[in-house]
A and B are shown apart, each in its own frame.
Chain A
Amino acid sequence: MSDHIVSAFTDELDKLAADILRMGGIVETMILDASAAVDGNDLDLAREVVARDPEVDQLEAEIERQIVSLIARRQPMAHDLRAVFAALKVVGELERIGDLSKNIAKRTQRLDKIVGPAMRRGIVRMASPVSRQLNMVLDAYATGNAAAAKAVWEGDDDIDQHYNSLFREMLTYMIEDPRTIGAGAHMLFIAKNLERIGDHCTNIAEFVYFQATGDNLLSTERPKTPQIDG
């Protein structure tokens, strides 16, 4: 899209998108580091992830401030309006992803030696496609690519299946050895957090799609994963 006659308007929209991508990059690393902390029982890394959350919250507040100011001063229309609206929604989703990652990191400290490497490896296996979803949806945001956003949106089904199989795996461990139940419950929350992060990625995909096309991705179109039977 060509630039605005008032170039400062273009600059402000560009800065808004850049800040959102920067925030997205930070929370993407938080997901990966939190799951690596789970995998390696790395409590220092876990503390580092927790310590990064205030930065994310601050970025959110700063981006929201930019958005309010932009609406007040520029009165964006059409694609610009959708971009500003999408930015406001996406920033909230990213903040939630940051919180969930922080929560994963916090729970790492409760897993202790009880949770073996096999169980931990399941979390990493799930975290990898989740962070890839975030990475892809941020790419779609950066390029305004509606088709890429829709692909992310449709990809959430895989995450849900990951979660279901991880859920069943955890149950098996816990039934086998009741001493793992406490830590296993934390593991279940960790898996649930990853599943929720996947949902936030699909929400972001919806806003990217709306920004690019002006249309909504209808939630009814998305294939629904069968309920957990455990």
Chain B
Amino acid sequence: MESTVTSAPPATSPGTQANEPERLTFPRIECRDINVFYGDKQAIFDISLPIPDRSVTALIGPSGCGKSTFLRCLNRMNDTIESCRVEGQIIMDGENINDAAIDPVLLRSRVGMVFQKPNPFPKSIYDNISYGPRIHGLAASREDLDGMVEKSLRRAGLWEEVKDRLTAPANSLSGGQQQRLCIARAIAVQPEVILMDEPCSALDPVATARIEELIDELRKRYCIVIVTHSMQQAARVSQRTAFFHLGILVEMGETDQIFTNPRERRTEDYITGRFG
């Protein structure tokens, strides 16, 4: 089971930058020249961005900068918007996920997503987790499915809190618990990548800290991309940070560097609260 969740980095990796630490040198996803249009309006301009495996990449920038639109490219969520057109290549496991031959439903099982507001199904806790493995045919038996539910809930740090009430409705959980349930649901289908779109903005500081702790745990196994409005959160949870502005990728670098010594004036102005 483990081997389907994670894949070893290739022995040699194209696009390796010599001056970067080794852990960041194997892109899980390689985005090349991404342009996104809503009708005639262009939202994203020529963004190329390697996303390293087993680490957290944070996308930051002011509202309307295109960071969420970019995130949604990574599992083709923009397909669901009628007027939206995506150009460019997003290479994952040697395939361009924008290729017509790629089944977006299967893709989304490999690239899970967690949203701003927890959105559990109006079903039991157990059913929320088991739904994905069931429709993707990942479980051979009931015991198998029980194991997957437990494992996913454990990884999401929720098992101890819900193990005695798995049949309770998911919406009886607190906001923070619901968000961890959504993360458990995303990892139940054994994804390679987890996308998070402001996963903590509806949560209180304690629930936020729990999610951040969880993100730190999950990054040992998954490639995580998080959009956040909280710069402090980006600084806390990510290893790489990309700053977007007006649909352009202004700067990307190691989180330490971005927050202590950004190269671009626009990044500096944004993260120090000088954006007029």
Chain A contact residues, CB within 8 Å of chain B: 1-6, 9, 75-82, 213-215
- Given known A-B contacts A75-B232, A79-B268, A5 and B275 have beta carbons under 8 A apart: yes
CA distance A184 to B235 in the complex (A): 56
Contact count A vs B, C-beta below 8 Å: 41
B260 touches A76 (CB 8 A): no
B residues in contact with A77, CB < 8 Å = 231, 235, 259-260, 271-272
Q: How far is the CA of A2 from the CA of B272 in the complex (A)?
A: 10
Q: Could you tell me the distance in whole angstroms from the C-beta of A206 to the nearest C-beta in chain B?
A: 15
CB neighbors of A among B225-276 (8 A):
231-232, 235, 259-262, 267-269, 271-276
B268 to chain A: closest residue by CB = A78
What's the dominant secondary structure at chain B's contact region?
A: helix
User: For B269, what are the chain A residues with a Cβ–Cβ distance below 8 Å?
Assistant: 2
Q: Give the shortest distance, in Å, between B158 (CB) and chain A (any CB).
A: 30
For the complex, give the distance between the alpha carbons of A4 and B272 in Å: 7
Q: Decide: B260 and A214 in contact? CB cutoff 8 A.
A: yes
Main secondary structure of the interface of A (DSSP, over half): loop
Q: Inside 8 A of A78's CB, which chain B residues have their CB?
A: 259-262, 267-268, 271-272
On chain B, the number of residues with a Cβ less than 8 Å from chain A's Cβ atoms is 16
Q: Complex: how many Å from CA A81 to CA B232?
A: 13
In the complex, which of the residues A2, A75, A77, A82 has the most CB atoms of chain B within 10 Å of its own CB atom? A77
CB of B231 within 8 A of CB of A1, answer: no
A94 to B276, CA, bound (A): 36
Most buried by A among B262, B268, B272: B272
Q: Across the interface, do A4 and B261 meet the contact criterion of CB distance under 8 Å?
A: no
Can you report 11 A-B residue pairs in the complex whose CB atoms are below 8 A from each other? A2-B276, A4-B272, A4-B274, A5-B273, A76-B272, A77-B271, A77-B272, A78-B271, A81-B259, A82-B260, A213-B261
How far is B260's CA from A214's CA once the two chains are assembled, in angstroms?
7
**Distance of A127 from chain B, by nearest CB (Å):** 37
The residues of A that contact B271 with a CB separation of less than 8 Å are 77-78
The answer to whether A1 touches B261 (Cβ under 8 A) is no
Which of A4, A82, A213, A214 is in CB contact (< 8 Å) with B273?
Answer: A4
Question: Would A9 and B273 count as touching, CB distance under 8 A?
Answer: yes
* Residues in B whose Cβ lies below 8 Å from that of A6: 273
Interfacial chain B residues near A213, Cβ < 8 Å: 261
Q: How far is the CB of A80 from chain B (nearest CB, A)?
A: 5
Q: Is the CB of B260 within 8 A of A3?
A: no
Residues in A whose Cβ lies below 8 Å from that of B259: 77-78, 81
Q: Which residues of B have CB within 8 Å of A214?
A: 260-261
Residue from B259, B260, B267, B276 having most chain A Cβ neighbours under 10 A:
B260
Give complex CA distance A76, B259 in Å: 9
Contacts of B276 in A (CB 8 A): 2, 5
Q: Is the pair A5, B274 in contact by a Cβ cutoff of 8 Å? A: yes
Closest to A85 in B: B260
Q: CA A78 – CA B268 in complex, angstroms?
A: 6
- For A81, list chain B residues within 8 Å (CB): 259-260
> For residue B272, which residues in chain A have a CB less than 8 angstroms away from its CB?
4, 76-80
Q: Which interface residue of B271, B274, B275 has the most chain A CB atoms within 10 A?
A: B274
Shortest CB distance B105–A (Å): 40
> Closest CB-CB distance, A197 to chain B, in whole Å?
30
B262 contact set on A, CB distance < 8 A? 78
Hey, which chain B residues are within 8 Å of A9, CB to CB? Answer: 273
Across-interface contacts of B231 in A (CB, < 8 A): 77
Residues of B within 8 A of A5 (CB): 273-276
A5 to B269 alpha-carbon distance, docked (Å): 10
Given the complex of chains A and B, what is the CA–CA distance between A126 and B265 in angstroms?
Answer: 42
Q: Which residues of A lie under 8 Å from residue B232 when comparing CB positions?
A: 75
| Chain A residues, CB < 8 A from B273 | 4-6, 9
Cα A207 to Cα B276 with chains together (Å): 29
Complex Cα spacing A30 to B275, Å? 42
B260: chain A residues at CB < 8 Å are: 77-78, 81-82, 214
Instruction: Report Cα–Cα, A77/B271, bound state, in Å.
Output: 6
How distant is A29 from chain B, measured CB to nearest CB, in Å? 34
Write the chain B residue with the least CB distance to A80: B272
